[in-house]
Amino acid sequence: MEEYDLDYARASLLESHSMYFEAAELHLSENRPLEAARAFIKDNNVDSTIRAADTILEYFWRKCSFRIAAKTALADEQMRHFITLADQLETNKLTSATRDLVRISSLTVTSWTECHLDIDVSEHLARKS
């Protein structure tokens, strides 16, 4: 399958055989982190949960770093999906440090979005006055 660029089909086949970890790794190798995180979450073991958390955190850090403008990060449709996935993690399988990072990152992104929207509304109202 790899010779014919059928990695997505291969990943689907792996998932249909409940080989979620392998499918997730394949998604990651093909730069599909959202699909990878979803597959890791479907797998019910500690290693997959850790890999899902790492994948989600990496996405948050890449999209919400100091060099990225808030407007750019907020325009990213996948961000909402990653926040939802972060809420689905079985955090009891994570180390306390990773669990805290996921919670803080998810809350920060959510608060940042709400704060940014509040600022936009405030600026709009101030201009009308």
Structure tokens at 38: 């979803």
Q: What is the largest CA-CA distance in the chain?
A: 63
pLDDT digits 0-9 by tens, 66-86? 666 666 666 778 888 998 899
The first and second tokens of residue 68, run together, are: 């990225």
pLDDT band, residue 109 (cuts 50/70/90):
low
**Which tens digit of pLDDT belongs to each residue from 1-60?**
555 568 889 999 999 999 999 999 999 999 999 999 999 999 989 999 999 999 999 998
**Secondary structure string (H, E, C) spanning the chain:** CHHHCCHHHHHHHHHHCCCHHHHHHHHHHCCCHHHHHHHHHHCCCHHHHHHHHHHHHHHHHHHCCCCCCHHHHHCCHHHHHHHHHHHHCCHHHCCHHHHHHHHHHHHHHHHHHHHHHHHHHHHHHHHHC
Classify burial at 13, counting beta carbons within 10 Å of its beta carbon; exposed 0-12, middle 13-18, buried 19 or more.
middle
Position 122 pLDDT exceeds 50: no
Q: Quick one: angle between helices 46-63 and 20-29, nearest 10? A: 30
Closest CA to 116 of 64, 78, 71: 71
Q: How confident is the model at residue 62 (pLDDT cuts 50, 70, 90)?
A: confident
Residue 7 confidence (pLDDT): 86
Q: Of residues 13 and 124, which shows the higher confidence score?
A: 13
The answer to whether the beta carbons of residues 44 and 89 sit under 8 Å apart is no
Predicted TM-score (pTM) of the model is: 0.78
pLDDT digit string (tens) for 88-108?
Answer: 999 999 999 999 988 887 776
